[in-house]
Amino acid sequence: MDMKAYIYLDNAATTPLDKRVLEAMLPYLTDVFGNADSPHAVGRKAMNAVDEARDTVAALIGARKNEIYFTSGGTESDNFAVLGGARAKRKEDRTKVILSAIEHHAVLFAGETLAKEGFDVVYLPVDESGRISLERLKTAVDDNTALVGIMAVNNETGVIQPVKEAAELAHAVGALFFTDAVQAAPHMPIRVKEWNVDLLSFSAHKFYGAKGVGALYIKNGVKVDKLVGGGEQERGMRGGTLNVANIVALATAYKLAREEMSQTEEKLRKLSDLFLREISVLSGITPNGERANALASVLNLRIEGVENTALLYKMDLQGVGFAAGSACASASVKPSHVLTAMGLTEEQAKQSVRISFGKNNTEEEVVRAARQFVQTVETLRQY
């Protein structure tokens, strides 16, 4: 398969590295190889780059520099926040954790772990629009609640969650509020003060940065148990030699994403509208989740009478790649937990695909992919 000709429509799973990001990180993979914690000149040079990256990220999300912790990615940040936040809060005898039912598997895993430790973990349902109900959250929170975790944007549907309002409800009972902003970060400005969050995670490879690097914002004064111990890096909160090149990549990619956000979003809106227009000749296509309240870049579509795995397989052979549910769950044949939480039957969930556009996609690619999609769906429906 010629990867240059392949049409990649799975940008919610990961994005290609931006060339400018590669340029910025390269010196730290070669000449500036120092351990950022070494006090000598080689180490100091590496630490200067980390400091600068931390400054950049903090300024862009409205945080202080000492509120940013670099990690190995979204998964670690999510685990760090949920496990660390809940365990620290247990010291105040709080044992309840509330998570939305549509969280990423990294958060759901942390929830399962906490349940084994004796926490009462409650999963907040969503309605068919794909949003959590603030009313339900209001009833669920109490004096025993340690932590509430609601993602900013869902990775399968692109549906935006009412984070600011949810944070207010969590704080009203003295609980911590965490948001997984991994899917939000590429598409909307993160503002930790305005959103009033205690903990917030994001990951570089979703906005054209390197894979294997993320960040966790921990509000000053909020106590969190560490997850990865050992060295005294990250103010004693996350051990391990700093991945300087990746940290530089994260900051560079995030800065570019923010500077170019409005143009990028405009382009992504155009591309998804174009795709929908091109496939409108098909009947029996239903968007999952309320489009008016979702990212422009993600289309989650149910195709009546067509099994998603068959469609994916045939489209891949034609050189078009997208997803059934999320990438993390795609090895399994289980229906998406996000779609079933929204009230779809297992059969309906297995008829659903996620198409996610990126800044490198062209209109020409989108038209070609859409026409191939129409043809493939029509063929599959004939069986």
Contact footprint for ligand PLP (CB under 6 A)? 73-75, 78, 104, 106, 151, 155, 180, 182-183, 203, 205-206, 214
- Exactly one of 122, 140, 328, 367 is catalytic; which is it? 328
Shortest CB 218 distance to ligand PLP, Å = 17
For ligand PLP, the nearest residue by Cβ is 74
- Which tokens go with 246? 């990746």
With both helix axes pointing from N to C terminus, report the angle between 261-278 and 363-382 in degrees, rounded to the nearest 10.
30
Q: What is the dihedral of CA 382, 321, 279, 381, to 10 degrees?
A: 10
Instruction: Please state, in angstroms and rounded to a whole number, the distance separating the CA atoms of residues 229 and 238.
Output: 6
Q: Is 6 exposed, middle or buried (0-12, 13-18, 19+ CB in 10 A)?
A: middle
Whether residue 294 contacts residue 158, with contact meaning beta carbons closer than 8 Å, is answered with yes
Shortest CB 110 distance to ligand PLP, Å = 11
Our CB check for ligand PLP shows the closer of 15 and 56 to be 15
Q: Is 188 left (phi over 0), alpha (psi -120 to 50) or beta?
A: beta
Our CB check for ligand PLP shows the closer of 151 and 253 to be 151
Shortest CB 12 distance to ligand PLP, Å = 6
Whether residue 298 contacts residue 158, with contact meaning beta carbons closer than 8 Å, is answered with yes
Shortest CB 18 distance to ligand PLP, Å = 16
Residue 270, φ and ψ in degrees, nearest 5: -60, -45
Our CB check for ligand PLP shows the closer of 81 and 370 to be 81
Our CB check for ligand PLP shows the closer of 104 and 291 to be 104
Element (H, E) at 202: strand 199-203
Concerning whether 349 is annotated as a catalytic residue, the answer is no
Q: Which residues are catalytic?
A: 328
